Amino acid sequence: MQYEKVATTYRKLQQEICTKLEQADGKSSFITDEWETGIGSGATMVFTNGDAIEKAAVNFSAVKGSVSENMRKSLDIESGASFSATGISSIIHPQNPHAPITHMNVRYFELDSGISWFGGGVDLTPHYVNLKEASWFHQQLKEVCDPLKPGIYDKYKVWADDYFYLPHRKETRGVGGIFFDHVAPVDERRFDQLFAFTQELANAYPRIYIELLNKNRNKDFTEAEKQWQMLRRGRYVEFNLLYDRGTKFGLDSRGRTESIFLSMPPLASWEYQNVPEEGTKEAETLRWLKKDIDWLHVID
């Protein structure tokens, strides 16, 4: 069983991610809230009111407990009475509406029956879709995926399209990224490969985002563009409350509520029947919030 090894590594990665984001922002710093509950412990690291980042959160948890009936159904668990789970989850909400929201999660789940798996992903939610930046973002993720297995980016990209989707809006959450879940190591070699992949993904996350943040952090914006940012954040909230598996798992496993809802933006809004006028940047952004877009070649 590899739970302790993974947890130790993920805790170190969390701290490294926070250091990189602090250095990039240059103004604020993370506060660390070490916590412990009946099922485990963790560290919640939160960053607010930075120069370029309005809110960032990087959460680490290592928990154990009994498999509830809700968990058994939602995670398709056939055997096992107890579980151990550890992971990192992160969200970044920028100040400038021309900079995107981003999310990353890597996790490991282990059952006392001997079954285990990895999951995770990275995705990008621009308030305004920039085709060049979206294409570059996907190219960076493909380069992380390629060493794991040729063609795996394509599979994980489709998985992200299907997962980061709001069916009640008929919109994707953003320009997608990659997503994977229940990827089980069949032997020690495969475990090492998957474990290394999740580490590489976590390491790439701040590097990729900082590049996009720096390109957009100082752009001028209007009050109307800021209001559009609030509306798009509202869509983000809808996804997290209605569909996000991490949120559901955290609540089903009686996790720490404050940490579960860390991904929420500091401010968001909803406006009745907001429909952007044709020809506007807002309408153009909505046109790109669809599944099955080949982001790697969208500007070819």
Active-site positions read 103
User: Helix or strand or coil: residue 77?
Assistant: coil
285 in Cβ contact with 127 (< 8 Å): yes
As a residue count, the chain comes to: 300
**H-helix segments, 112-187:** 131-145, 152-163
Percentages helix, strand, coil for the chain, rounded to the nearest 5? 40, 25, 30
Q: State the Cα–Cα distance between residues 299 and 287, nearest whole angstrom.
A: 15
What are the C-alpha distances in Å from 154 to residues 26, 157, 239? 36, 5, 23
- The b-or-e profile of 219-258 (16+ CB within 10 A means b, else e) is eebeeebeebbbbbbbbbbbbbeebbebbbbbebbebbee
110 in Cβ contact with 62 (< 8 Å): no
How buried is residue 213: exposed, middle or buried, by Cβ count under 10 Å (0-12/13-18/19+)?
buried
Q: State the Cα–Cα distance between residues 159 and 5, nearest whole angstrom.
A: 28
235 in Cβ contact with 274 (< 8 Å): no
Q: State the Cα–Cα distance between residues 245 and 74, nearest whole angstrom.
A: 9
98 in Cβ contact with 128 (< 8 Å): yes
